[in-house]
Amino acid sequence: MQQIFNFIYKNSNRLLFLLLLGISLFLSIQSHSYHRSKIISSANFLSGGVYERINNVSEYLNLRTQNDALAQENAKLRSLLFNAKDTTATPKLDSIKGLKPDDIIVSKVIHNTFNTHENYITLNTGSLQGVKPDMGVINSLGIVGIIDNTSSNYSTVISILNVKSQINAKLKKSNHFGSLTWNGKSTGFVQLTDVPRLASIRKGDTIVTGGQSVIFPENINIGTIDKIEIDNQTHYYTIQVKLFNDMTNLGHVYIIKSKNREEIINLEKKEKKDE
């Protein structure tokens, strides 16, 4: 017994080191799986609060660009309104679910990273405002990411500039779809993989979100085709997509609450159970 205590006393430093190393390695490895622990994320009250304070100050520095973006979005919406094909036609009411299948929560980016392989964005709305994990986040120019963790007042977003993110996307003109990933290199470009060779594509074509995902509604802008490569092993296209969004400069964003989402997920679960 004495010897055990002696051993522990003599090697207390090494044992402490191994313990702490074990904890930290566990946290790092766990963070690389898709769903992460809630303790070590910036959605908690301490880091969320600090980031909100910092953002209150730094927000003033890019008010001009934010105003421009808002004015442009307004102009776009107005042109849609004025150029409607038939101004007297009233939108058809979906009698069961109301007018629109999607609800929108306005939120503000209080912290944004883009210099690592796994980038996260922190927003200043949380579960109290109705934000839940796996909701889509967009802004006026295109998609931004998917909600990862929420606390009562803050939430974190897996940015599209994250090697873990995978989003269903398609060509606007032909409905050929693929999955949108990021290779960790440039902040202005993402990659669309697994587009079949049959698809006729050209540089400059627009890429939008596909209808297969329950996270984003269909036809939200993502970017334009910049470069087309053919994967020699799989014979699928790998397309470099130039983002409409400047991911290094984000202000207000919209969180999309899809009402049909739970119904679809439940249905698919049932299908799997039956098999």
Q: Binding to other proteins by residue 27, rule CB under 8 A?
A: yes
Q: 118 or 205: whose CB is closer to other proteins?
A: 118
Positive or negative torsion for Cα 211, 215, 217, 219: negative
Write down the least CB distance from residue 117 to other proteins, Å: 5
| Buried/exposed code over 66-75 (b: 16+ C-beta within 10 A; e: otherwise) | eeebeeeeee
- Kindly give the interhelix angle for 2-10 and 12-31, rounded to the nearest 10 degrees: 60
Is 118 exposed, middle or buried (CB count within 10 Å of its CB: 0-12, 13-18, 19+)? middle
Q: Which residue has the tokens 């190393």?
A: 21
In angstroms, the CA 112 to CA 144 distance is: 11
Q: Binding to other proteins by residue 166, rule CB under 8 A?
A: no
Write down the least CB distance from residue 51 to other proteins, Å: 8
Q: Binding to other proteins by residue 116, rule CB under 8 A?
A: yes
Q: Binding to other proteins by residue 151, rule CB under 8 A?
A: no
Among 8, 16, 77, 267, interactor with other proteins by CB under 8 A: 16
Of 25-33, 139-147, 197-205, 210-218, which part binds other proteins (CB under 8 A)?
25-33
Among 6, 7, 11, 25, interactor with other proteins by CB under 8 A: 25
In angstroms, the CA 139 to CA 136 distance is: 10
Residue numbers at the binding site for other proteins (CB under 8 A): 12-13, 16-17, 20-21, 23-32, 36-37, 40-42, 44, 46-47, 50-51, 54, 113-118, 120, 122, 156, 184, 187, 248
